Each structure stands twice: as structure tokens, then as C-alpha cells.
Chain A
């Protein structure tokens, strides 16, 4: 983001004049530009942070989509249609990443130069986390009454929220190492919470 200003200018594909790489439309001829290689936060016009106002994020996303979605280019040339599709695709990717706390944490840490690999393993290196998760899974598997299941689902949900608060605190304190561990923890907590919720729905549906 601190690249020299000159590197941020490209030639508009339509009028061939100078245009900023970040620009969505050329200021001279008005043609839509390609999505360019910018980070998700910049793309949605918000400051990089874990603590996002989700309503504001959605407003930004909808605002950009209203300008850039291919439906706005239905009677335009093929080139403009294709560019708007890439723009809308990039917006979807950015929004889907940032609206989800787990994906947002991983993306932000990577953005801050501390990559976290969430896809790498089904194995847990952290012994404590491993034991804790095994116990909780057992408890959920053994729970039979709707009340028991509902209670576990609520517990799992509140742990997810607590973990997100810890991630936020760690990032704000620039403790990225800690934030990385917590993000991996969040992955397992979120999975457990999801399974608990699904089991709860099933339990409620059965007569």
C-alpha cells in the first residue's frame, strides 16, 4: 500500500488515458475498469481491522455491487460486461471473506504479515486444545435430551464469541502470535458450534 504513487497509474483500456489502479471507473471516459490487485479491505473501502461493523460492511458491499454488478451492464459492450463480472466476483470474494469472523481473522493476520494456515491439517498440534475439543465432542455425542443439546449448543456459541473477543484483543495489542493460535482455536470452536446447532435442529424436529 506504500508503493510509489507512479506505480498506481495504469492506462484506461477504453480512452487510453491515465487512471488510478484503484479506480472503478475512468474519470475521463467513464468506462468501468478491471478489479485490480487490491486487498479485500481496500476493495470494500474500509480500514483493516478485526472489529468490523457488519452493517457498515454490508452497506459498502451492496453499494459497490449496485455500481458494478453485471446487471448494470446488460446493454453494454462485451468488454464492459466481462470487466463488471470480474469486479462483482472480486467484491463477492472480499465480502464473503470479511463477513465471516474466522476467515476475516485468518485474512487479516495474513495481511499483517503473520499467515495462519487453516486448511493444512485435521490434526491439532496444541495438546490442550486437542483434549478440550475431544471432551466437548464426547459430551455432544452423548447428549440425548433436547434440553441437554440446547445447553451445549448455547455453551459452544458463547465460547465462539469469547474467542472472537480474545482474537480482537490480541490483534489490537499487536500480539499476532497469540492471535494466530486463537484463530486456529476459533476454527474448532466454530465447527463444534455448528454441529451442536445442527443436532439441536434435528432434536427439535423429531416428535
Chain B
């Protein structure tokens, strides 16, 4: 007998026509890019001048005006203390992390705040990295809407594969603030591989080498039977072309100070030197030598550099990426020779030194046909289309870092090891160490090291109400759940009493729900309307789904109803349709409840019939056939 197959996408989704476009967004450290896919054809959405890159730079004017992109970047020289750049480096970072970053960032940080999320001081305002990123995403959204003349409300947003839970949550929050529903967070290297169509390429292993402005990622992907799996990822969230820019800028500044005999560096000077360094690096990809000028406070200085000199400065950073590559290859349990192709991503891979080194390590010419600055957004757009209209390719991700909790002696007990396929739920049992202990502190950590203080602290909470028992008698079950986006939820429960506590892991470095709500309120004037319309859309989707379910049930079992009963149900369905048309969320909720009440008896009779049929001696196999079973054929 043929199994009756029901595609999840089979029941029509009429709400899609009234939704806006779904785009792919590469929210980069230096630049952001937005692309749209239609029928598999992708297009990078550009401004009037044809530029695809939107510099991830935000200018905050004293009057509250926010400018994003090239215009903001130009303001770096005029008003450096009003401009924020490279904010992605701070996503999900806590004030504790700043000690390692202090001095390397071109803006003032609010170090007064104890613990919690980093805050920036810009133009007299205090901003979180989430808010700054949301401003960038708003500009990206506007760019896409202007290019397409349609509203854009959903997106696939890419993140470095190495981003931890806090950074992923921060990214999702930023999108929410910007009025975008995140269909899925996709790892940047995976998106790049999709852009190259590796999901349709020969089965095997592929590497994606991504050296962007502020992050480095290396991923080993496995493509098999239409499933794209991230086998292993590694990287450094604070290593990239910016480091090379800084190294060049430092050299320029040293030369300048020698020439003019100045002691201290002004903010303006530092930013000018950085801008010159960036230009120098880009020029030296195509030329062997060049000269650059820095002029601040009427004092010009000239700096010359050869490509060889640049490569000496850049080599330590590039070598560091090669070391990480070797580690990831080993982690994946494969040999370099097993890798069938290498994709280059990120503007910094334009450097001849990088291409040479990559070729040396993998023993093959890397793929670099698609603009390395745009390739991630192109892949994200393809994935956005796949998620909204369906596709044959499936992306299976893994946890980038191990997740665990603190136990006695400051040792980390891993609950979910890194490179575990997600979504995943894993539990571990712990016990009390003192007689009569009624509470237990749960400290959630992320990282590979054995000791608590060497790992990233994600959250702390306390499980209370443990019954008074002897030490070691209580059984505390801690469950870690990671969803398909890599976001973690932790639940702790005591087995004998069922006392339970749950936290979505956000607090340590993220925004609390209250903060989010306030920001949503403060952000755009129409944020409230956005929220309301999204809530209505969700309710309407749910109501339409119920109607379709009832109609399907009527198609199967309408003989169980008298004409009068049938009329009641039809009237209730019409009521839901009317409520949806009215646009009133409460009316839809009420009408849905009405439909549920009208179909209660019908549902009971259907269950009775099903159970009677089962008791009439059908075998389990036949029953499965009749009631829907495994939709996958083993053959």
C-alpha cells in the first residue's frame, strides 16, 4: 500500500502574498550587503551609484539624526566622536571582555557600567551595540525597499560561524529592533558555499576561508544528498583585515610623529591614518608600491610602502588564520587532501598574500569568482528564498562552542560538546553537596577550557525550593536546549518535587526583555504599529491554519455530522474569515475560539471512530497506514 504523504508545505499559505519581501543580509563588521533572490536568480541591491556595499558605520548627530553608510564614514574625519564603526566586534560582548579590546577600538566605551552589555558613548548618548546594529539594519532595509519599491519585513541574516550564543542573540535582537523578522541566522561560510552552488556540486568536503574586516572564520562543510552540514567550524571573532589596517596605521603614525616631532595622537589623526592604511592595503593588492598622504591640522605627511613591506606587517595575522585552519581540519577528523574545494570570502582575501597562503595549505586554487564582499549576502538571499518557498537543500548546523555548567572547584562540566548538530537538547544530572541544601546556583558557560574562569560566562540563575535532603540525595536535572539558530535555553528541575526553572540565556551580555521593549518603543515612531501588525499577522496565520484543518476534517469525516451541525461549523468558518478581513486581532481570536467550540462534538466523534476502527482488530501497521505514518520511504 502506498503511504499517504503530506508535505509540510502542502496546505496553502495565503498569508505569504500579503507579506513583504524576504531578503538576505550580510551584516558585516566593515560593510553590510543586502541581496534578493527570485527563482534562484540573485541580485545585490545597490544604491543609485551602483554601490552594493553599505559601510557598517553610523553617525549620530547632536540633533538626534542618524546617518548610516558612506555619508557616516565621511564624518569619521570631521566628527570622530559622533561616529561608530566596527560595532560587530562588540556584539554579545560584556564589559569584562573590554579589557582585551581596550585601546584597539576607535570609539569611547562606557566603562562605568558594571557587568552586563557593553555600552558606547556617542554624541552624548549611551548606546548598546544592538541599537547601533539595528540602525545599520534599518538602513539596509530601507535600501532594499527603495530598490524594490516593496516593503521588506523578513530576512536571513548571516553571522560568523564562531559567534557564540550571546552574539547570535544580540544579532537577532538588532533585527527585531529594525523591524525585521529573522527567518534564520545562517553562518557566513555556509551562505558563501550556497552562493557558489556547492549544494548542487559533487558530494564531498569543502572549506570556506573567510577573512573579513573584523572576523575570521574557517568552516569545513559537508555536502551529501541535498543536505549541507557544517562539519566543523573555527575562527576568531576578533581577527581580520582591521588588524592589518591598524598595523599599517601604526607604522604611518610612527613615521608621521618622527617627521613632525609630535608626542600624542589625536582621535582625528588616528582615524585619518586608519583611512590611509585601508587605501594603501587595497592599492597594494594590485600594485607593488605606492605613496599615501595624511593631513591633519595643516600638517601633511607622506608615507610610502611596498607590497613586500605590507606582507611583512600582515604575515603574523595571516599565519594565525592558517594555524586555526589546521586545527579545524584536525577537529573534523579529516586530512587536507580530502577537501575538494576552497571558497574565499571577505574583502581581505583580495590580498595576494592570503590567496598564496590558502593555495599553499590546501594545495588547490581557491574559488574566488564571486565578489568576495558580496558572496555571503548572495547566499543568504538564496536561503531566504528557500525558506519562504521551499527547497531541496537543507542546512544542518552544529554548536560552535561547548556549553556547560560550573561544578564544585570551578570546573566546567560540559553538557553539549562543540560540533553537536542542532537543534539539540541534552540533560545532565547534578546533586547537592550539603545536607539540607535548598537552593542551587546554576552558572552556564561556553567554551572549551576546563576551568570556569577561562570560559565565557553566559548566564547565572538559582534553582530554589529543593526539598530538605541529605547531601547527594537531590537529583537536579539541567537541560540545555539549542534551537536551529544556535540560541540556548536552560532548564533546571529537581526530580523528586518537580520544582522547575527556565531561562532563555540572555541576561549576562544581552538585553533583557524589558530593555528590548523600551527600545522598541523608543526606536521608530511606527514601531508600535509594526509590532501590532506583526501580532495580527501571527494570529491570522494561526486562524487560517485552524480553518484549513477543519475543512480537511470535513472532507474526511463529514458523514458524522447532521445538516444542522454542519451549518453551525460552516457559519463559524465564515465568522473567522470575516474577522480576519476586519483586521481586528481580538475579533480573530474570538472567532477562532468560536470555531473550536463549534467543532468540539465533531472532533469527539472522529476520535471515537478512529479508536473503534483500531479496536476492530486492525494491525498496528495498517493503522499507521490509515492514520499517517513515516513519510520517508526506506528504499
Contact = CB atoms under 8 A, between A and B. Distances in A.
Contact of A18 (B10, B607, B619): B607
B330 interface: yes
B484 interface: yes
B408 interface: no
A26 interface: yes
Interface in B610-635: 610-611, 614-615, 618-620, 623-624, 626-632, 634
A9 B606 contact: no
B596 to A, nearest CB: 9
B538 interface: yes
A92 B421 contact: yes
A46 interface: yes
Interface in B549-570: 549-550, 552-553, 555-557
Contact of B396 (A20, A69, A72, A77): A69
A66 B394 contact: yes
Interface string A1-41: 00001101101101111111011111111111000000000
Given A74-B184, A93-B425, A15 B552 contact: yes
A27 B628 CA distance: 5
Interface in A80-126: 80, 84-85, 88-89, 92-93, 95-96
Interface size class of B (residues with CB under 8 A): 35 or more
B183 A74 contact: yes
Interface residues of A, number: 59
B453 interface: no
Contacts of B6: 25-27, 30
A201 B330 contact: yes
Contacts of B227: 62, 65-66
B516 to A, nearest CB: 18
Contact of B8 (A6, A20, A22, A67): A67
B423 A92 contact: yes
B366 to A, nearest CB: 23
B284 interface: no
A205 interface: yes
A93 B9 contact: no
Contact of B546 (A11, A14, A64): A14
A25 B628 contact: yes
B4 A16 contact: no
A58 interface: yes
Contacts of A8: 614, 620, 623
Contacts of A181: none
Contact of B610 (A18, A24, A96): A18
A26 B420 contact: no
Contacts of B425: 89, 93
B549 A31 contact: yes
A205 B326 CA distance: 10
A75 B394 contact: no
B225 interface: yes
Interface of A: 5-6, 8-9, 11-12, 14-20, 22-32, 45-46, 56, 58-60, 62-80, 84-85, 88-89, 92-93, 95-96, 201, 205
Interface of B: 4, 6-11, 13, 15-16, 19, 183-184, 224-227, 326, 330, 386-388, 390, 392, 394-396, 420-425, 481, 483-484, 538, 541-542, 545-546, 548-550, 552-553, 555-557, 599, 602-603, 606-607, 609-611, 614-615, 618-620, 623-624, 626-632, 634
29 contacts: A5-B615, A8-B620, A8-B623, A9-B607, A11-B603, A16-B549, A16-B603, A16-B607, A18-B610, A18-B611, A22-B630, A27-B6, A30-B8, A30-B11, A31-B545, A58-B224, A63-B632, A64-B630, A64-B632, A65-B396, A67-B631, A71-B387, A75-B13, A75-B183, A75-B388, A77-B538, A89-B481, A92-B422, A93-B424
Given A16-B553, A29-B548, A65-B394, 18 more contacts: A6-B615, A9-B614, A14-B549, A16-B549, A16-B607, A23-B627, A26-B6, A29-B549, A30-B8, A31-B549, A58-B225, A71-B484, A76-B8, A76-B13, A76-B541, A92-B421, A92-B423, A92-B424
